[in-house]
Structure 1
């Protein structure tokens, strides 16, 4: 009887060992996975660079999709509402005279300008259109759009033969240029803007110079626009420099190499 009662014990021990072995294996896998997340194994330089580039491309595709959607919504919805306002004002003009008619006419002209600006904004933020144009052509179109006789004179100087920049890096380069142009229009209070585009054998160099009110270097480097430009420059291996003093205008220089330097290998 004693022997018979001892027989189930090995089976229970076996079941217990299998259970704890399985549990230990699961815990070990989870621990290794968590450790890998916190301390990922270093990849070779080229592999790491390719992975970072793929992640960057995914992020940019998402942000560009969102930007196109916003531009489309602004153009379609806000543009339609402003068109209705314009039609109503046109109807009012036939019912008014004197100062009232003059005021409505002036307001209608402002609405026309806003509609035109919205259309241009929508076009300028369509990345597929920008990518299809040579950089010089796109830049000339942007400067023509910003040019206002007697208010802001714009000019473009180009030298060298243009080379193609990889699509993703060209897009980020253009976004940096748009940021710099926006800063001139919104903050510089400039009456003249000169853009120099230099095509060198290994890089393309762009310089924007305005005659505006300048800036405090310590202040501008804290602004969101400058931070965004620095981040984009780092993403594409570009160099970015900004120079100016209060009352002396401003210059922004962006240089983008045609080829990315290989990432250093980790030991």
Structure 2
């Protein structure tokens, strides 16, 4: 009878300990899960903040780039047109009056085009293909080098915020080509399909050491921006053999 009572006591004690262990395990798992939830939430908030910061910086840079472009156009293009208009209208020849009117109309057209550039509405209205052709057109006007544009796949909708970042990254890559590459030919290839968006920027210029480039802040900023929108950037180059930049945005097309 005494042994039976001892066994019951041990069973109760063992059951209590097992219950406490199970309760402790459950509480521990709940706390771990809660901790992970908090960390994931903080990570998402951090990514969201980084994304919003990137967008704000990109908008500011595009505006600055646009203002620089407008300034150059006012000085180099519209300024020359106005000077030519003044000389034409100062002439006493009747046929010069009509020529002057045509020049005034051209100036008005150029000013209207520039006014559209002064805000970011054009970013929402333009697709990537049109944007790339627009940037290449600027280089052609400067007789910078031989230009070629290629496209594969059909145009797809791109999230506006991601498109904004891509536009800025493309601009920066082209600026690097202008400043450093000294190419005879520049080729941009746009690849679009429901699963992938890619832009390849290839030149036959002087090339560079990619290891040194990867250590620079410019390359780091480009990588960071592509990562912010879920994409990547890769650069292949050798001294004297040009460079190939690949901007890749998987599953980014809505």
Q: 1:230 corresponds to which residue?
A: 223
What pairs up with 1:107-256 in 2 under 5 angstroms? Answer: 123=117, 126-148=119-141, 151-256=144-249
Structure-2 separation of matches of 1:171 and 1:59: 13
Structure-2 separation of matches of 1:187 and 1:154: 17
Asked if 1:58 is matched to 2:52, the reply is: yes
TM-score, normalised to structure 2's length? Answer: 0.62
Q: Give the CA deviation at 1:65.
A: 5.2
Distance 1:68 1:208, change over 3 A: closer
Structure-2 separation of matches of 1:78 and 1:134: 24
Question: 3-state SS of the aligned residue for 2:54?
Answer: helix
- Preserved CA contact (<8 Å) 1:64 1:127: no
Structure-2 separation of matches of 1:46 and 1:215: 40
Q: Which runs of 5+ in 1 are unaligned?
A: 1-40, 94-115, 261-267
Q: Give the CA deviation at 1:71.
A: 5.2
Distance 1:245 1:134, change over 3 A: same
Q: Give the CA deviation at 1:49.
A: 6.1
TM-score, normalised to structure 1's length? Answer: 0.59
Structure-1 separation of matches of 2:70 and 2:242: 37
- Preserved CA contact (<8 Å) 2:191 2:198: yes
Structure-2 separation of matches of 1:198 and 1:249: 21
Length, aligned pairs only: 196
Question: 3-state SS of the aligned residue for 1:43?
Answer: helix
Per-residue deviation, residues 154-207 of structure 1 (Å, max 9, x unmatched): 111001112222221121122111111111111000011001111133111111
Q: Give the CA deviation at 1:254.
A: 1.0
Structure-2 separation of matches of 1:55 and 1:161: 33
Q: Which runs of 5+ in 2 are unaligned?
A: 1-34, 88-109
RMSD value, Cα: 3.8
